[in-house]
A and B are shown apart, each in its own frame.
Chain A
Amino acid sequence: MDYQLIWVLLIAVAVFAYVTLDGFDLGIGILFPFIKNPVKRGRMMNTVAPIWDGNETWLVLGGGGLYAAFPKAYSLLMTAFYIPVFVMLLALVFRGVAFEFRFKSKNHQKHWDIAFSAGSIIASAMQGAMLGGFIEGIAVENGRFVGGAFDWLSPFSFFCATAVVVGYALLGTGWLIMKMEGDFQGNLRRLAKPAVIWMAANLAVVSLMTTYVNPAYAERWFNMPNMAMMAPIPLITAGLLFWLWRAVSHREKTVFGITLGIFFLCYLGFGITLYPNIVPPMITFRDATAPENSLAFMLVGAVILLPVIFAYTAYAYWVFRGKVSDEGYH
């Protein structure tokens, strides 16, 4: 069995699960500056209070899985992204405790709202900036990181950061449209319209810039027959964006679903661009792998436990299904 390939795919799934699941609850924090009413803010937070912790566990699995399955990649990437990783983690600290702290003190509620919102925005922006730095590549010589502390900061990573922030905000909006009713749902729909346009423009910029960042990426996408085979990815994405723009004004569950679809296609495109590198531009996942028996040992646990995790996570979402305003929170 090709354990290395299985594990690189499993980690890719864990990262995607993280991006979409924590994406919508980070998105709720990103929306806070646009929703001033403290009662509405409380209701927004309550839609994710029972599940955000599980969502963020995928981040631990992504990091822990990378450490376990591809320790060399983990070591190099964490060293290269030293600053954005720590800024992201500290932002997540503020954001995470705000779930509890916000409701403990009326006097300081505003402060914790700022902590929640700023924490969500900064954490998302750092994830985007790291994505940009990752695509641009990491300076490695003889298996050691030799770049600078700010290599990840560039115009390209800036656009990646804004794309992730607006993308998460859209996921959050889609989630809230499902969970809210009436006037508040209308507010959310009006917020979503410009966000869709921003998202479309931002994705176009990032996609085009990607092909300039590294000639190999352009070659992968523009060579025949690749171009013909992979053309559906950008084309369907464009179609979904158009559908999303129309759906935000009247659909309930579709908005969240379409946004997930856009995230999936972008993620797929990202994977195709970089495969098989795990530390671009040179180190492949096979170079960075852990011993075969470690991968095999972990796979036993993953095969048994992942379906169980999916089952009880789905159960938790099912328990807290439905409109939140129906349930008498506040």
Chain B
Amino acid sequence: MLDAEILARIQFAFTVSFHIIFPSFTIGLASFLFVLEAMWLRTRDDTYLTLYKFWLKIFALAFGMGVVSGIVMSYQFGTNWGPFSEFTGGVIGPLMAYEVLSAFFLEAGFLGIMLFGLNRVGPKLHFLATTMVAVGTLFSAFWILSANSWMQTPDGYVIENGRAVVTSWIDAIFNPSFPYRLVHMVLAAYLTTAFVVGAVGALHLLRDRENRAARIMFSMAMWMAAIVAPIQIMAGDMHGLNTLEHQPAKVAAMEGHFETREGAPLILFGLPDMKAEETRYAVEIPKLGSMILTHDWDGKITGLNDFAPEDRPNATIVFWTFRIMVGVGVLMALLGIASLIARFRHKLYDCKHLHRFALIMGPSGFVAILAGWFTTEVGRQPWVVYGLMRTSEAGSPVTATAIAGSLIAFVVVYSIVFGVGTAYILRAMNHDPRNAHVPTGEFLRAGGRQLAAHNNPQAGE
């Protein structure tokens, strides 16, 4: 029988994993819509407006699902993690309050105008609304990653009467892992969106290589893949070094190192066995592990055995989620390089192999993001706030039955709702983007009356 703690952890992992899929898509998509509308206003090329409308429908669906799954998160701290809430309320609470005040209201306030208001407010104010929504998604990322980073690398606080009290807000917000995590996650969100956009562009190019809307989105996405994927790999490396400095046990688990060694190998594959304290069937490259982590062939790498057994994260999980993330990242960079080669040979819109590769890579960003978050969150265990509060001390006094019941309810409801929602999104992506077209002159002349129905993505369907 599973106990309350593990059930509460599964429930949090389940709800937050479902949730993160939507914001990581909408952070990138909001910025993409911002670029599309800016291009439209600059060039007055209707294809950009067509693309804007095409992606706006998808954005509305994804954003709605992000909102409703996010409200659940804001209450789950209290329902399942009461003692954690009391301990961290004075630190994480204000960061989340700033997120609500500076980001959620901004997004929600301008979302209606963005979705339904083009004819009512005109292109310039509408562009302002798109900008505000895009800025809001980035503010949101800033605050929530600051809060998460504080749980990973707490700073700027003292413990008073059994709770954390902030002594320096600058140190608490800009805690040691925050800059790395923020950059890594925002780039991840942009890449995720780029690969979805690239896959949709590729799908429509495979059907008709003359489709201009598909050409534009595919080209934009492949520039992102070629430029941002390599930057992301570098950012990830820097984030890893930061983790080595502040959470060495996590890095040891990610690398599958149990014994502390100088000149440690890089273990490519293997099966970390927590009980036997060794990584079985290891395929390794001598000394490369030390080189990557310490930039010295004979650098010393601390293994998991140097930590007390009750302080070790589960290497079996973390070792593999980390490899999935890195593997997907390498594939992303490969697609970027392949697209550059095709582009310089003037074959970007003609190479079917490239389009098929891009199509398969459509969901890759989501896989990498989930694998990455599993790595950093499972790797923080057994701590909920690293070094300060154990996960086992953080749970509410709720019975296992109540948690199991709510967990089952979440699994059922999320499967139905987000399954159907994802199906609607895929269907919208499958539509030819050229059909999202509304002639500019026509809707500007119309002054917002007759064509309101077209501008309302819900009407007329």
Contact = CB atoms under 8 A, between A and B. Distances in A.
A83 interface: yes
Interface string B92-124: 111011111110111111111101110011000
B112 A49 contact: yes
Contacts of B460: 330
Interface of A: 42, 46, 49-51, 53-54, 56-57, 59-61, 63-72, 74-79, 81-83, 85-86, 89-90, 92-94, 96-97, 99-105, 108, 144-146, 149, 290-291, 293-294, 297-298, 301-302, 305-306, 309, 312-313, 315-316, 319-320, 327-330
B114 to A, nearest CB: 9
A124 B234 CA distance: 49
Contact of A71 (B74, B89, B109): B89
A103 B461 contact: yes
Contacts of A103: 457-459, 461
Contacts of B108: 53-54, 56-57
Given A57-B108, A320-B112, A68 B96 contact: yes
A97 B64 contact: yes
- What's the dominant secondary structure at chain A's contact region? helix
A329 B166 CA distance: 51
A100 B64 contact: yes
Interface of B: 60-61, 64-65, 67-72, 74-75, 77-79, 82-83, 85-86, 88-94, 96-102, 104-113, 115-117, 120-121, 132, 160, 163, 165-166, 169, 396-399, 402, 406, 409-410, 413-414, 417, 420-421, 424, 427-428, 449-450, 452-453, 456-461
A56 B74 CA distance: 12
Sort A-B residue pairs by CB-CB distance and give the 7 closest, nearest first: A71-B89, A68-B93, A78-B78, A50-B112, A75-B82, A103-B458, A54-B108
Contacts of A312: 105-106, 109-110, 132
Contacts of B105: 54, 57, 61, 305, 309, 312-313
B89 A76 contact: no
A328 B452 contact: yes
21 contacts: A54-B109, A60-B70, A64-B99, A70-B89, A75-B85, A76-B82, A82-B79, A90-B413, A100-B61, A104-B61, A104-B461, A105-B424, A144-B397, A293-B166, A298-B98, A305-B101, A306-B101, A312-B132, A316-B112, A319-B112, A329-B456
Given A68-B89, A305-B101, A313 B109 contact: yes
B116 A49 contact: yes
A168 B90 CA distance: 34
A50 B453 contact: no
Contacts of A100: 60-61, 64, 421, 424, 458
Contacts of A57: 100, 104-105, 108
A139 to B, nearest CB: 12
B409 A86 contact: yes
B416 to A, nearest CB: 9
